[in-house]
Amino acid sequence: MTGRTEDYERTMAFADIALGQMKALRQVATPRNYEIWYAYASGYHPALNQQVNATIKAKGTISEADLAQIYENHLSPTRLTERIDLVGSQVKGEIDQVMAMIDAAVGSATNYTESLTDPLTQLANRKFFDVTLEKTIAEAFSRNEALSLMLTDIDHFKAFNDNFGHLTGDQVLRLVAMAVKHNVKGKDTAARYGGEEFAVVLPNTALRAAVTVAEHIRRAVMAKELMKRSTGEQLGRITISIGVAALRKGDSGQSLIERADICLYAAKRHGRNRVMCEADPEVTAESTAAEVA
């Protein structure tokens, strides 16, 4: 791999993380905010990272006023000489590069942010989920905090689509997305994982607390009775199955996903319309049997 390719991939990785932070915190996509979060993602400016982390820890979020102060303290043109002395011109050059690539690829910062959203459900898409999961795992390890992952699948969705059509199937996907969205908050990230599957990343959340959130979502979905808008036909209720896993020492995003997926399919095998986690005896027994085999 050439140095130019490595620089490009590193820059885009930092850009993905920066944009993910802005989306998670629901911040306006301005060049100033990009510069702050790109510098944060790159780790080139430890003092900036410390102020950002302290602000989020104290308030649970970070406001535009906070960002303005952080920019003034660390990145404003009046501090350019100090920045060059500390970290050279690398951050500024990489920020200019990523902004140029974003403009060339999508035309505007707003459109780029939208490219991280699933258009049907308005949840985060798979790309945003993948970046966020890896970043959140790294943060959990660095802060010695819990983290849980939830995977959700709509029961018998293919049969529902075949019986009532894809437009009605889209209505079901939106309904489940709404139930998920209304039952997560703060730094949680809800995403459309693929097809009829959804995922929720729950930072600083232990396994049993995550199971409680999952139960709220499951019950919220089951409580809704569907009606076909074009005809008024009652379509009954839908259900979902959910698997929940908690971060362990040495986990990667892939290993955590795999355990949550095992729990999800255990929920389906044991009757659907239920939540199962890796601490449940049924899941433990099946995992042990698979390892022995």
Residues labelled as active-site residues: 196
69: number of Cβ within 10 Å: 13
Find out whether 280 and 210 touch, Cβ atoms under 8 Å. Answer: no
Per DSSP, helices labelled H in 125-206 are 126-143, 157-164, 166-182
Residue 33 CA: distances (Å) to CA of 30, 47, 53, 193: 5, 17, 15, 27
CA distances 275 to 208, 210, 228, Å, are 11, 10, 28
| Cα 231 to Cα 1: distance, rounded to the nearest angstrom | 58
- Give the other-Cβ count within 10 Å of 35's Cβ: 20
Concatenating the DSSP letter of every residue in 278-289 gives: TTSHHHHHHHHH
